[in-house]
């Protein structure tokens, strides 16, 4: 029987959040987050993804390792990767902050935030408002909400806290038709379609191709995981995707900046 990575991750995330809440006041973090967001630009990721620029929009990810692939990259700092991604043409930067399974931290997010003017997405397994407050304080412009890990009440509450209270965009991630409907019912404006099965970690781009046909045209659609070629990006863009979240392909490249730039330029050639 294959391991259910997602269930393992969620179980350990609940324990980590419980420890965090035991040592930190959620109300105090909320007050700090609200204060910081008073002067912050609201919905920066949404604006970047909706811009009229014809260039391919790639959310480039800083990712140290994964449960399925092990160590991906350990010789570049988050600051250096952020600079390379910005020079390479990324429209935003995603930072994997889960520590136990992905080797990340909220410190990685702060480091990226201090190194770039691009919108920054906090990518983690968010199950409690305290994680959103922490991300906002660290400088996140957006947070990931995974439908598969949340009931309808929690999903709606977390989206409302992020977007309506803090002006932090919520990238709401789905993998099935049912999850897409749940995301829409929760008011999701940016929907990420994860091509990776969260139970087995196997990848299929057919997930994006299937779900884009079911999504309303007024939502911002992002394809995630398993994106490696300009041809596949072009095909998915023609089907309606606005942007693409790419991590492992770029992190494994000898020169992430060049790999990103080449991916964008090759897609532009294909589109002509």
* pLDDT for position 269: 44
Instruction: Determine whether 157 is an active site residue.
Output: no
Among residues 66, 94, 194, 232, the one annotated as catalytic is: 194
The string of pLDDT tens digits covering residues 112-123 is 999 999 999 999
Give the Å distances, CA to CA, from 259 to 66, 155, 158. Answer: 20, 35, 35
| 195 in catalytic set | no
Q: Which of 63, 66, 94, 195 is catalytic?
A: 63
pTM value is: 0.93
- Point out which residues pair with 193 in neighbouring strands: 174, 223
Q: Which residue is catalytic, options 13, 61, 66, 94? A: 61
Scanning the structure block, which residue is given the tokens 């930072």?
A: 95
Catalytic residue, chosen from 173, 179, 248, 257, is 173
**Catalytic residue at 224?**
yes
Given 86, 179, 224, 257, the catalytic residue: 224
Domains of the chain: 5-271 (3.20.20.70)
Let me know if 209 is a catalytic residue. no
- pLDDT at site 1: 31
Estimate the crossing angle of helix 129-138 against helix 26-38, to 10 degrees. 40
Tokens of 244: 């693409």
Q: Write phi, then psi, for 107 (nearest 5 degrees).
A: -65, -35
Respond yes or no: is residue 99 known to be catalytic: no
Q: Other CB atoms closer than 10 Å to residue 98's CB: what's the count?
A: 21
Give the separation between CA 169 and CA 163, rounded to whole angstroms: 5
Instruction: Report pLDDT for 70.
Output: 87
Task: Quote the pLDDT of residue 3.
Answer: 55
Q: What is the rounded distance in angstroms from the CA atom of residue 263 to the CA atom of residue 258?
A: 8
Percent of the chain with pLDDT over 90: 80
Q: Smallest Cα–Cα separation from 144: which of 55, 234, 13? A: 13
Task: Specify the DSSP class assigned to residue 196.
Answer: B
The rounded mean pLDDT for the chain is 92
Ranges of the chain whose pLDDT falls below 70: 1-3, 200, 267-272
Tens of pLDDT, residue by residue over 199-227, are: 767 788 899 999 999 999 999 999 998 88
The reported pLDDT for the residue numbered 265 is 86
């Amino acid at each position: 029987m294959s391991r259910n990575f997602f269930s393992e991750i969620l179980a350990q995330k609940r324990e980590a959040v419980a420890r965090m809440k035991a040592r930190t006041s959620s109300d105090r973090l909320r007050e700090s987050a609200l204060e910081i967001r008073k002067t912050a630009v609201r919905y920066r990721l949404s604006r970047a993804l909706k811009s009229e620029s014809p260039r391919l929009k790639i959310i480039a990810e800083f990712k140290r390792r994964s449960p399925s692939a092990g160590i991906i990259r350990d010789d570049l700092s988050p600051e250096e990767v952020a600079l390379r991604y910005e020079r390479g043409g990324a429209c935003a930067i995603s930072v994997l902050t889960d520590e136990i399974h992905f080797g990340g931290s909220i410190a990685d997010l702060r480091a990226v935030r201090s190194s770039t003017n691009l919108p920054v997405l906090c990518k983690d397994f968010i199950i409690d408002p305290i994680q959103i407050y922490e991300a906002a304080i660290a400088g996140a412009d957006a947070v990931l909400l995974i439908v598969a890990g949340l009931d309808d009440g929690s999903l709606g509450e977390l989206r409302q806290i992020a977007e309506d209270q803090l002006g932090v965009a919520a990238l709401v991630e789905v993998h099935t038709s049912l999850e897409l409907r749940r995301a829409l019912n929760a008011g999701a404006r940016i929907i990420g379609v994860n091509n990776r099965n969260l139970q087995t970690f196997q990848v299929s781009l057919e997930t994006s191709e299937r779900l884009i046909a079911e999504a309303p045209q007024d939502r911002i659609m992002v394809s995630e995981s398993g994106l490696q070629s300009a041809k596949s990006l072009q095909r998915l863009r023609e089907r309606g995707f606005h942007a693409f979240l790419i991590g492992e392909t770029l992190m494994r490249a000898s020169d992430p900046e060049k790999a990103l730039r080449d991916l964008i330029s090759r897609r532009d050639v294909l589109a002509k």
